[in-house]
Every structure is written in structure tokens, then in C-alpha cells.
């Protein structure tokens, strides 16, 4: 069973790596951002509660997101493992996740921390375009779609996420920096913690992460 937590700032490529690794290991990719956006699009109660926080680039309340994730991890689809992308994001969430592992008598997860310089992040996020239909992501310069503003996979429309606009990004990066120090302190004492350079070409980075996982398991 492979349980993997991917830490990193917005734009570090957590989602890209999680998708590739989930395919390789045939385990679900659980993205808290995707779950919340899906709930907003469907107009659910959770979506309504989360939407204001996301628009402002703030974190949604710890207990709200933690309950959803822990329930998901109990599901059958997570029996063989999973990749957590965007969770935990605070020390409170990390401790609750650790309590959960202890409660169900499981080992802790592998934790990889993807680091990238701020100027690269801002470039990546402002250029990011996301398919409204399937969630696939592109970049206007680094990874343009074949047809303008259309998803290569499902031909859905590509849009800029409202929280990928520059005024919100600045706040998202600040929120990230406030939390990451404590998370690093918490996880860095674990033997299953490793830092990776997120400025690497994505396929090379996936290979390095996969190598690390297979050598450490």
C-alpha cells in the first residue's frame, strides 16, 4: 500500500506529479482543490461554505476539509493506497491525519516536498489555464493546447481559475509560507520525507520521485 503526501506551494506541479504517479501506481489521486471546486460547481453545501475562502486565496476551515478527506480515505477505493495533493496544508490537518493513521494502525505516509522559487511560481500560475469540463491543465507558453482555448482531451473550454489571478496568488503564496515551516518541522524528522526540486522538467521529476519511492518502500 503506497500512501503519498505531496507538499508544495501553488504552482509547484503537485497536481501534475500526482496525476502521473497515480497512473503509475494505479492508486487514486485525491486533490482537495479539485474536490472543493467540484462542490462549488455543483452548488453543494460544502461548495457554498468553501467558495468565499477560495476566492480570497484563504484556506477553508481545517475541520471542514479534514472530515471530508478522512472519510474519503476510509473508502474502498483507497484500500491500495492514494496520493494526497493539497492535504494536509496546516499543522492541525497534519496532526489529525497522523492521529487517523495511529487509530487505524497504519504506518505514516511518504511525504515529498516540492520546492520552487516564487518568480517561477507566479509565472506558472498566471499562465495556467484549466479545462472547465475535465480539469486538465495547460500553460499559455510552456504547455499550450493544440487548439486555442480548447482542451486537447475533451475539447472543453479552457479558463483561468479565478484564484489563479495575480491579486489572489500573492495571498495564496503568503498563506502557504505561513503554514509550510511548521509542516516541514513536523515531517522532516520522518525517514520517509524527501525534498525535490520542482523547477525540473516534469517527466524527469516524476522519474526521480518514482525512483525514490521504489527504493524506499
Residues 3, 14, 37, 96: which is the catalytic one?
A: 14
Q: Are strands 2-7 and 158-159 parallel, antiparallel or unpaired?
A: unpaired
| Site mask for ligand AMP (CB under 6 A), range 100-139, x = bound | ----------------------------------------
Residue 26 falls in the annotated catalytic set: no
> What are the grid coordinates assigned to 89, written together?
496544508
End-to-end CA distance of the chain: 9
In angstroms, the CA 177 to CA 215 distance is 30
Q: Which stretch binds ligand AMP (CB under 6 A): 18-26, 30-38, 151-159, 197-205?
A: 30-38
Closest separation in Å from C-beta 48 to ligand AMP:
14
Cell 504506518 belongs to residue: 107
CB crowding 5-43: b at 16 or more within 10 Å, else e: bbbbbbbbbbbbbbbbbbeebebbbbbbbbbbbebbeee
Task: Answer yes or no whether residue 28 interacts with ligand AMP by CB under 6 A.
Answer: no
From 41-49, 59-67, 70-78, 112-120, give the range in contact with ligand AMP by CB under 6 A: 59-67
Q: Least distance in Å: CB of 19 to ligand AMP?
A: 13
Contact criterion met (CB below 8 Å) for 184 and 113? yes
Please identify which residue in 6, 18, 27, 60 interacts with ligand AMP, judged by CB under 6 A.
Answer: 60
To the nearest whole angstrom, how small is the minimum distance from the Cβ of residue 15 to ligand AMP?
7
Q: Does 186 bind ligand AMP (CB under 6 A)?
A: no
Amino acid at each position: 500500500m503506497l500512501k503519498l503526501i505531496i507538499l508544495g506551494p501553488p504552482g509547484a506541479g503537485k497536481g501534475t506529479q500526482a496525476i502521473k504517479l497515480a497512473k503509475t501506481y494505479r492508486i487514486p489521486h485525491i486533490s482537495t482543490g479539485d474536490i472543493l471546486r467540484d462542490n462549488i460547481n455543483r452548488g453543494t453545501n460544502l461548495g457554498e461554505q468553501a467558495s468565499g475562502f477560495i476566492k480570497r486565496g484563504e484556506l477553508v476551515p481545517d475541520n471542514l476539509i479534514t472530515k471530508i478527506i478522512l472519510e474519503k480515505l476510509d473508502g474502498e477505493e483507497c484500500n491500495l493506497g492514494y496520493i494526497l495533493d493539497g492535504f494536509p496544508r496546516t499543522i492541525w490537518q497534519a496532526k489529525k491525519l497522523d492521529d487517523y493513521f495511529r487509530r487505524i494502525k497504519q504506518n505514516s505516509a511518504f511525504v515529498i516536498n516540492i520546492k520552487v522559487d516564487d518568480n517561477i511560481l507566479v509565472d506558472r500560475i498566471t499562465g495556467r489555464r484549466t479545462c472547465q469540463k475535465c480539469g486538465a491543465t495547460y500553460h499559455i507558453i510552456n504547455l499550450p493546447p493544440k487548439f486555442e482555448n480548447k482542451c486537447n482531451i475533451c475539447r472543453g473550454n479552457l479558463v483561468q481559475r479565478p484564484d489563479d489571478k495575480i491579486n489572489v496568488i500573492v495571498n495564496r503564496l503568503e498563506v502557504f509560507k505561513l503554514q509550510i515551516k511548521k509542516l516541514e518541522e513536523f515531517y522532516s524528522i520522518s525517514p520517509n520525507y524527501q525534498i525535490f526540486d520542482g523547477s525540473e522538467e516534469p517527466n524527469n521529476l516524476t522519474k526521480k520521485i518514482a525512483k525514490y519511492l521504489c527504493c524506499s518502500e
